[in-house]
Chains A and B, each alone.
Chain A
């Protein structure tokens, strides 16, 4: 936290602030010293906050009209689409909003990977972020069940069935999760309840995430520690607020493109068929943002093995600050890491692609190779690289490299 002390100018303000220092908090947020060289990859935090609020607000309105019952859920969503004033808009914002949320979170995460933002002293920020990401996946998964279409039902069946792989207690756990012997009304109602709850837990974690961020301050593209406040920093307001707003508006234009002109491309047509336990769809695929994990899951012939790898692939990310021990944060000064970073991006995209394909033949082979590479990257390449890689010399301050004339590199 910045050290200066803040005194409200009005008498009432002072009286209030002595009792609840909200104004001090506001002043801290506005004057929070931020590195002046942050590029647009840093605007996604603000965008993510916006996405969360959008999901909560649209979700609240949907919940006023939605009926969480196996016989009525599908028709109630259609009722929202047809008869509720601008219900189609609310629902399309919510369903496409989930995709945009994940698009933003993936950019945000890969930003952290590129610039080494997970490293000391920001490990807690990183872990909180991972927890948010986990809860987002759970929330979106349960939300996708709510319209009670074919993919809702069968996706829920496939994913909950994963827990049956746990030795001894697996079957009982699945029955417990379902509230019966199959995915049915009890499953739907509890998913609705949890889908309503989780975003608020996420909100709480977001507050902690930002709190933890405000202790060391932002990392920056060159990844060096800077003095705060100094001539390397700018106050958050108006410099960062306006830049975040600009980026958010661009994001909103793309978001609107989906909502208004192709609201269903990111979804699956089978989800406009009401859930039917007697008819299994030909390919059961999760939403696009879960595909890489789906590919990892299916790349192992053994169910338990697949589930273990699935969870490992996420939890390995939490251990990242201790797997990558290189002192240099930014990939800009790590010539070899930089190449591996892009390979990882490619690997995850490939995983996402094969996750949407049937798990057979060449697709399965590619899925296995990419899964193996994913773990290789985190478990072998990163630790080894930390000790071998020759990094490039770091600038002394943010203003320094700008003075050397290569300003483009660092912007």
Chain B
């Protein structure tokens, strides 16, 4: 029996070890101490709000976010803008609606129930405007990349001069973290690009952090509720397990005492 246990432990170690190999990437990502990480993780409201500002002032000129509506910005667990703020944000956008009773399309100011307005009418248009590269929709981008938030952050601060001898085509940039080190997005961030309304100093890495925070929420808008519910469920299960354990001991004591 001891030998089996030994083999068993070895197997588990091999498994753990191999899962490390599985998920290790070639270039080490910059790890951040994200507030949403871990089993009690929560979003940082002000970072989310700043991140939305970066998204809408910078990234939104190329990247769509089709799965989000303006109302989401005011929902619990998100940036939690006030209702008036959400209405004002939405009203900044022009929405094509219709047809009206005359059969005509018309434009009107946005409402909280509207979806985020896309910068381009379709994927082809976005590619045509970006040298043939599609700026991916950002709604679930964080979950669509290995490494998640750390990857997005690393990518945003990972622009460098290419090593000598590395040939780059026109309109292609060198990035340490991009697959193949070539990306068709120029560095979107630079110090002071936005002026934060809360007075935070808009350094490149601060903006990268904030926009990544925002994108993480966008990809997983119920994360806070998930963590909170998770604790309740697990504590409930543990208590129930203990009760059942003691009942089981009681029930089985009749049999165990027979031998």
Contacts and interface: CB of A to CB of B under 8 A. Distances in A.
Interface of A: 36, 75, 78-79, 81-82, 88-89, 92, 231, 234, 238-239, 242-243, 245-246, 249-250, 252-253, 256-257, 259-261, 263-264, 269-270, 272-273, 282, 338, 342, 345-346, 349, 353, 356, 399, 402-403, 409
A253 B143 contact: no
Interface in B135-193: 136, 139-140, 143-146, 148, 179
A356 B22 CA distance: 8
Nearest to B1: A409
B31 interface: no
B11 A272 contact: no
A249 B233 contact: no
B248 A75 contact: no
Interface of B: 1, 4, 7, 11, 14-15, 18, 22, 39, 66-67, 72, 136, 139-140, 143-146, 148, 179, 219, 221-222, 226-227, 229-231, 233-234, 237-238, 240-241, 244-245, 247-248, 251-252, 255, 258-259
A256 B14 contact: no
B14 A349 contact: yes
B227 A250 contact: no
A269 B221 CA distance: 17
Contacts of B219: 272
- A82, A238, A272, A402: most-surrounded residue (chain B CB, <10 A): A82
Given A246-B245, A256-B230, A399-B259, A349 B11 contact: yes
Given A260-B229, A269-B145, A345 B4 contact: no
B7 A342 contact: yes
Nearest to A356: B22
A253 B247 contact: no
A346 B144 CA distance: 32
- Overall SS of chain A's interface: helix
Contacts of B255: 36, 234, 239
Contact of A261 (B7, B66, B227, B259): B227
Nearest to B250: A242
A231 B258 contact: yes
Contacts of B140: 78, 272
Contact of B259 (A79, A259, A403): A403
Given A88-B226, A402-B259, A239 B252 contact: yes
Nearest to A339: B3
Nearest to B218: A82
A260 B227 contact: yes
Given A82-B67, A88-B222, A256 B240 contact: no
- Overall SS of chain B's interface: helix
B210 to A, nearest CB: 22
Contacts of A349: 11, 14-15
A252 B179 CA distance: 38
Contacts of A338: 4
A244 to B, nearest CB: 10
A272 B145 CA distance: 8
Nearest to B136: A273
A313 to B, nearest CB: 21
A123 to B, nearest CB: 27
Contact of B247 (A242, A261, A282): A242
Given A75-B66, A256-B233, A349-B14, 5 more contacts: A78-B140, A249-B240, A249-B241, A259-B230, A261-B39
Contact of B233 (A242, A260, A264): A260
A234 B234 CA distance: 32
A220 B67 CA distance: 53
A262 B54 CA distance: 28
Contact of B67 (A78, A257, A261, A356): A78
13 contacts: A89-B226, A92-B226, A239-B251, A249-B241, A253-B234, A256-B237, A259-B230, A260-B230, A260-B234, A282-B179, A346-B11, A402-B259, A409-B1
A58 to B, nearest CB: 15
B230 A272 contact: no
Contacts of B145: 269
Nearest to A273: B144
Contacts of B258: 231
A253 B237 contact: yes
Contacts of B229: 89, 260
A242 B22 contact: no
Q: Which 3 A-B pairs have CB atoms at the shortest separation, nearest pair first?
A: A260-B230, A272-B144, A249-B241
Contacts of A256: 230, 233-234, 237
A246 B248 contact: yes
Contacts of A403: 259
Contacts of B221: 82
B237 A269 contact: no
A246 B237 contact: no
B233 A342 contact: no
A345 B237 contact: no
Contact of B241 (A253, A272, A345, A402): A253
A62 B226 CA distance: 18
Given A239-B251, A242-B248, A75 B144 contact: no
B237 A260 contact: no
A89 B145 CA distance: 22
B244 A245 contact: yes
Contacts of A345: 11
Nearest to B143: A272
A243 B39 contact: no
A399 B255 CA distance: 11
Contacts of B226: 88-89, 92, 260, 263
